[in-house]
A and B are shown apart, each in its own frame.
Chain A
Amino acid sequence: MALLTKAETPPPPPRRRRLVYRLRVLRHDPTAALGLILVALLAYLVVAPLVAVVSDAFRLQYGDQVHAGQQPGEWTGYYLWRVFRSQISGLLFWEPLLNTLVVAVGTVVFAVVVGGGMAWLVTRTNVPGRKWLAGALVVPYMLPSWTFSLAWLSLFKNERAGGQVGFLQAMGIRTPDSLAYGAVPIIITLGLHYYPFVLLLVGNALRRIDAQLEDSARILGAPQRTVIRRIVAPLMLPALSSAVLLVIGRVLGTFGTPYVLGLPADFRVLSTGLYQSIRDRSTGVASVLATVIVIIGILIVFTDSRLMREHRRFVTVGGKGAMDRLGDLRRWRWPAFALGLLVFVLSVLVPVLTLLLSTVTRTPLDLSTFTLDFWLAERLPGAVGFPHGVFRGSELWTAAWNSLRIVGLASLICALCGLLIGYVVVRGSAPRIAGFLRQVSFLPYLIPGIAFAAASLSLFAVARGPVPALYGTTFLLILVMAVTHLPYSSRSGIAAMMQLGREPEEAAQIAGASWWQRMRRIIFPIQKGALVTGIVLPFISGLKELSIVIMLTTTGTELLTTLSIGLVDYGYTQLANAVVLVIALVSFTMTYLTQRLTKSSLASGLGG
């Protein structure tokens, strides 16, 4: 038996030797190389556009030499001055900012009152048809957000903007501008789209409250009202504040609704202002606006995560002891059901039926003028830009094919990247690379879509180095769409890989499988399910996407969403409505099928 002397920490081998050894190891392990490639990719596609847009905000653009008295490319505060302090700054920035705030606050109040109330109704009461209501009330979220604004126009549009007037006007009831356009309709239509968001988040939180927490309070002598005030409400706060901030963030970046309902009355918000600046080719101003939106977006998400951290200290909401006891509404049961039904009717049936009827009647909603011309006619008299029914001609089919192909490819790339990011993060041979990937892939989440599109335009609109100008190419659309959906797929990719752990791959490695064989035979087959969800969720949300693509599409790369907005611009209300109905149908069907087939809940893909 040998007695061992205590081992001392050995002197590390010389640096150069260690390097040789490390390189030898790296040659056999492509994870590191893959990590570096992903880092480069994300740096180029996520970080670089943001840098470009911020730098555009501070550099003089061509064409502004005379006004600013500087040479193009020089550093300048001219655009800051123009946006914040000049005579037109009110028009460019302050008024849109104020309008944005009004819309955001209004939408949040609307969504919280309706969504919160409905959440309570379907999770904590014995309202008849709870299950059905819970499902039905989420449907508005599956429709493109500006579906509601088109329906609104079909009902309330007056002669101000030209084109076909709305139902009420046609009946001889004058609709004032304030009801047809501007803050009120925008708030209502956005509220109708976003209340399911609150419903899902708050409903989930309500459902997960441990019944024992309430029971304990009640046993200690607290009356029902006190239990709600002191136990339930504080536990709801995190979910509620999250929902509120996320809705604000969404409203900030939303384009379709304020464009359709705001512009005819010169009601500008930041997103439409940004769009117009870009259309007017005032790149500098657009860059400043985009930067402001980015900063507000980041602030919102930081506030959210800060609040979440504060709350997490006392959140003891566990999976156990779910609420199974429901408050008895007694004689209010049926009135409560009627209320829920009313919300469903107003947020789903009315808009969808309005759109549908508007496409099959010549005079809005007057069934005596029934016609299928807007869908099927070879020739539509009077319509110049789009002289036939939507199913005739090539426009709809081209746009549908474009949507399918562009969104499909983007989703595929997105899901693959997400899974690979998850793989690199979990393999974790280089913590710094993993950290970078984790954070940067999440960055687009902080940035309202329209601002990110503007940023991408800054970087890719002109040729830079070996990269040619990509404006107007399908490629750019795919890239931007993939990047904006990356946060969700990288998160689910990381989660899926974490759950799998590294052992299955290591076991394959020990068994003699090369890296490529491990990927092909072990990792991807096991992650098949995660990959499919990772493709489908971005696909559905990408199909409805307008804010991101509106600035990037050109005549050759028209998508369904931009086609519809284009028809709105022409004043062909019925045709635009028909296209939106097509989108809504596809997106609703796919969401429904996915939920059925993968049993994934919409809440997990909420971001999309």
Chain B
Amino acid sequence: MPNITLSGVAKSYGGGDYAVKNLDLTVPDGAFMCLLGPSGCGKTTTLRMIAGLEQPSAGTIAVGDRILDSVERGLYVPPEKRDMGLVFQNYALWPHLSVRENVEFGLRMRKVPAPERRARAAAALKMVHVDAAMERYPSQLSGGQQQRVALARMLAINPTVLLLDEPLSNLDARLRLEMRAELKRIHDESGATIVFVTHDQLEALTMATDIAVMNEGELQQLAAPMELYARPANRFVAEFVGSPPMAIVDVGAAPTGLAGSLLRFVESRAAGCAPAGIGIRPEALRLDPPPDAAWSEEALVEAVLPAGSSWTVRLRILDAELYALSYTPVEAEPGDTLTCWTDQMHLFGEGGDRISSWDRTKVGA
């Protein structure tokens, strides 16, 4: 099965504003690709363009050798001929058709004979575990069941590409957790290429094989989840992925306070390195006794926020406020002074791109 390629794709709604700017993206065959970004970043528009529900203003969209859209060459395949599946955020089940009829619809359109249609619909419903509700109507189903039916409706046609638009955002927390595992399983079983859109980084990190981070219509980084987390391409990605987010200290011309302290340490390690920003993830800011080679500084405890398995501590270090995330109990009261240290820093250059990381264990990157 082929890759999905987007090259030079742009979408403008007129007036010089671009929802998507010059996007180049390849979704490898069989991938579970996530488009991640804040609302309004162009991720849903991108998905709808792949589905053919919106048309790009420029660029080419292809699956393998089959060109679906090419503004430059005047080629267009309408959505109904693309053989893709798309699960809508609000499911868009047809209220006047029963669950079975909803799922059979795509097969009916493909003129699949009735016995086979029934069998395939039943199989798809079985795959998502709602085969018991076959003859009911969508309004009689719970939100989670509706979601599964919407999924089954698209799985029934065996699409080579399955698109999901914020599929889990309308579910409650428990169902969401369950559906994440389900989607992963369905991806493995069906072998389809899945592209899904979300603004929830946890969803992206837990499910995807590849994550494309977008912001303001531009692709920021395309990487595997842990790669994205360990080596964010720029300040946007670094701050968007991770919770609580990475703290990035701006290094000015004559840095003082925390920035000065961090910069002196960085320069002592790698001479000639001149970062514009230095980032520390909360879990990398440690409160246990510091080793010799690490950067350390006195910190004033402002608040301790226990959350069962972890402790978030708000610290004042010199002139800055930072969060530390600890997985061991923090025995401190507001007003106490602790020594905090880190051995993992991300260095960002002038334009915001990451220039290197400093890691005690793995030097450089």
Binding site for B on A (CB under 8 A): 1-4, 6-10, 12-13, 17-18, 20-22, 24-25, 28-29, 501, 503-504, 506-514, 517, 521-522, 525-526, 528
B174 within 8 A of A: no
Which B207-229 residues have a C-beta within 8 angstroms of A? 218-223, 227
Contact in complex: B154, A513 (CB < 8 Å) = no
How far is A2 from B237 in the complex, measured between Cα atoms in Å? Answer: 14
Contact in complex: A507, B74 (CB < 8 Å) = no
Q: Which residues of B contact A25 (CB under 8 A)?
A: 55, 76, 78
Contact in complex: A6, B218 (CB < 8 Å) = yes
Contact in complex: A21, B71 (CB < 8 Å) = yes
Q: Which residues of A contact B227 (CB under 8 A)?
A: 1
Contact in complex: A506, B157 (CB < 8 Å) = no
Contact in complex: A526, B94 (CB < 8 Å) = yes
Contact in complex: B22, A8 (CB < 8 Å) = yes
Q: Which residues of B contact A12 (CB under 8 A)?
A: 10, 12, 57-58
Name B's interface SS: mixed
Which B86-121 residues have a C-beta within 8 angstroms of A? 86, 88, 90, 92-96, 105-106, 109-110
Known contacts: A1-B223, A512-B157. The answer to whether A10 contacts B92 by CB under 8 A is no
How far is A87 from B137 in the complex, measured between Cα atoms in Å? Answer: 73
B59 within 8 A of A: yes
Contact in complex: B22, A513 (CB < 8 Å) = no
Q: Which residues of B contact A8 (CB under 8 A)?
A: 21-22
Contact in complex: A508, B94 (CB < 8 Å) = yes
Known contacts: A9-B21, A10-B58, A13-B71. The answer to whether A514 contacts B80 by CB under 8 A is yes
Pick the contact of B219 from A7, A10, A20, A501 — CB < 8 Å? A7
How far is A508 from B10 in the complex, measured between Cα atoms in Å? Answer: 26
How far is A275 from B119 in the complex, measured between Cα atoms in Å? Answer: 69
Contact in complex: B86, A510 (CB < 8 Å) = yes
> Distance (Å) between the CB of B25 and the closest chain A CB?
10
How far is A501 from B90 in the complex, measured between Cα atoms in Å? Answer: 11
Contact in complex: B92, A28 (CB < 8 Å) = no
Residue from B12, B71, B93, B220 with most neighbouring chain A CB atoms (10 Å): B71
Contact in complex: B96, A510 (CB < 8 Å) = no
Q: Which residues of A contact B106 (CB under 8 A)?
A: 511-512
Q: Which residues of A contact B58 (CB under 8 A)?
A: 10, 12-13
Which B43-82 residues have a C-beta within 8 angstroms of A? 51, 53, 55, 57-59, 69-76, 78-82
Known contacts: A1-B227, A10-B21, A12-B58. The answer to whether A522 contacts B94 by CB under 8 A is yes
How far is A507 from B351 in the complex, measured between Cα atoms in Å? Answer: 42
Q: Which residues of A contact B351 (CB under 8 A)?
A: 6
Q: Which residues of B contact A509 (CB under 8 A)?
A: 53, 78-80
30 pairs across A/B with beta carbons < 8 Å? A1-B221, A3-B354, A4-B222, A4-B233, A7-B219, A8-B22, A10-B21, A13-B71, A18-B57, A21-B70, A24-B75, A25-B55, A25-B78, A504-B94, A507-B94, A508-B94, A510-B51, A510-B79, A510-B82, A510-B86, A511-B80, A511-B154, A512-B106, A512-B157, A513-B105, A514-B109, A517-B109, A522-B94, A525-B96, A528-B96
Contact in complex: A3, B76 (CB < 8 Å) = no
Task: Name the residue of chain B whose CB is nearest to the CB of A524.
Answer: B96
Contact in complex: A504, B219 (CB < 8 Å) = no
> Distance (Å) between the CB of B69 and the closest chain A CB?
8
Q: Which 5 A-B pairs have the closest CB atoms?
A: A20-B74, A503-B92, A511-B106, A28-B78, A512-B109
B283 within 8 A of A: no
Contact in complex: B22, A512 (CB < 8 Å) = no
B18 within 8 A of A: yes
Pick the contact of A504 from B8, B82, B92, B218 — CB < 8 Å? B92
B281 within 8 A of A: no
Contact in complex: A511, B74 (CB < 8 Å) = no
Contact in complex: A9, B10 (CB < 8 Å) = yes
Task: Name the residue of chain B whose CB is nearest to the CB of A24.
Answer: B76
> Distance (Å) between the CB of B169 and the closest chain A CB?
14
B192 within 8 A of A: no
Contact in complex: A4, B220 (CB < 8 Å) = yes
How far is A17 from B60 in the complex, measured between Cα atoms in Å? Answer: 13
Contact in complex: B88, A512 (CB < 8 Å) = no
Contact in complex: B59, A10 (CB < 8 Å) = yes
Which B11-53 residues have a C-beta within 8 angstroms of A? 12, 18, 21-23, 51, 53
Contact in complex: A503, B88 (CB < 8 Å) = yes
Contact in complex: A7, B231 (CB < 8 Å) = no
How far is A47 from B8 in the complex, measured between Cα atoms in Å? Answer: 45
How far is A26 from B78 in the complex, measured between Cα atoms in Å? Answer: 10
Contact in complex: B153, A511 (CB < 8 Å) = yes
How far is A90 from B55 in the complex, measured between Cα atoms in Å? Answer: 63
How far is A525 from B98 in the complex, measured between Cα atoms in Å? Answer: 13
How far is A12 from B218 in the complex, measured between Cα atoms in Å? Answer: 16
Contact in complex: A506, B74 (CB < 8 Å) = no
How far is A510 from B52 in the complex, measured between Cα atoms in Å? Answer: 9
Starting from the known contacts A8-B22, A512-B80, 11 additional A-B residue pairs (CB-CB under 8 Å) come to: A18-B71, A21-B55, A25-B55, A25-B78, A501-B92, A503-B92, A504-B95, A510-B85, A511-B105, A511-B157, A512-B106
Task: Name the residue of chain A whose CB is nearest to the CB of B104.
Answer: A511
Contact in complex: B233, A17 (CB < 8 Å) = no
Residues 219-261 of B, flagged 1 when their CB comes within 8 A of A and 0 if not, give 1111100010001010000000000000000000000000000
Q: Which residues of B contact A511 (CB under 8 A)?
A: 80, 105-106, 109, 153-154, 157
Contact in complex: A510, B84 (CB < 8 Å) = yes
How far is A559 from B288 in the complex, measured between Cα atoms in Å? Answer: 94
Pick the contact of B21 from A3, A7, A13, A501 — CB < 8 Å? A7
Contact in complex: B23, A7 (CB < 8 Å) = yes
> Distance (Å) between the CB of B109 and the closest chain A CB?
4
Task: Name the residue of chain B whose CB is nearest to the CB of A2.
Answer: B222
Contact in complex: A506, B92 (CB < 8 Å) = yes
Contact in complex: A4, B109 (CB < 8 Å) = no
Contact in complex: A17, B71 (CB < 8 Å) = yes
Pick the contact of A7 from B22, B86, B233 — CB < 8 Å? B22
Q: Which residues of B contact A2 (CB under 8 A)?
A: 222
How far is A514 from B83 in the complex, measured between Cα atoms in Å? Answer: 13
Q: Which residues of A contact B93 (CB under 8 A)?
A: 504, 507
How far is A512 from B159 in the complex, measured between Cα atoms in Å? Answer: 11
Contact in complex: B8, A10 (CB < 8 Å) = yes
Residues 135-175 of B, flagged 1 when their CB comes within 8 A of A and 0 if not, give 00000000000000000011001000000000000000000
> Distance (Å) between the CB of A263 and the closest chain B CB?
53
How far is A513 from B96 in the complex, measured between Cα atoms in Å? Answer: 16
How far is A510 from B87 in the complex, measured between Cα atoms in Å? Answer: 9
> Distance (Å) between the CB of B86 and the closest chain A CB?
5
Contact in complex: B76, A28 (CB < 8 Å) = yes
How far is A279 from B354 in the complex, measured between Cα atoms in Å? Answer: 86
How far is A4 from B84 in the complex, measured between Cα atoms in Å? Answer: 29
Q: Which residues of B contact A18 (CB under 8 A)?
A: 57, 71
Pick the contact of B74 from A24, A501, A503, A517 — CB < 8 Å? A24
How far is A511 from B94 in the complex, measured between Cα atoms in Å? Answer: 12
> Distance (Å) between the CB of B240 and the closest chain A CB?
15
> Distance (Å) between the CB of A460 and the closest chain B CB?
39
Known contacts: A4-B220, A10-B8, A512-B157. The answer to whether A526 contacts B96 by CB under 8 A is yes
Contact in complex: A508, B219 (CB < 8 Å) = no
> Distance (Å) between the CB of B178 and the closest chain A CB?
23
Contact in complex: A3, B353 (CB < 8 Å) = yes
How far is A550 from B268 in the complex, measured between Cα atoms in Å? Answer: 98
How far is A21 from B69 in the complex, measured between Cα atoms in Å? Answer: 9
How far is A521 from B86 in the complex, measured between Cα atoms in Å? Answer: 19
How far is A21 from B74 in the complex, measured between Cα atoms in Å? Answer: 4
Contact in complex: A510, B22 (CB < 8 Å) = no
Q: Which residues of B contact A525 (CB under 8 A)?
A: 96
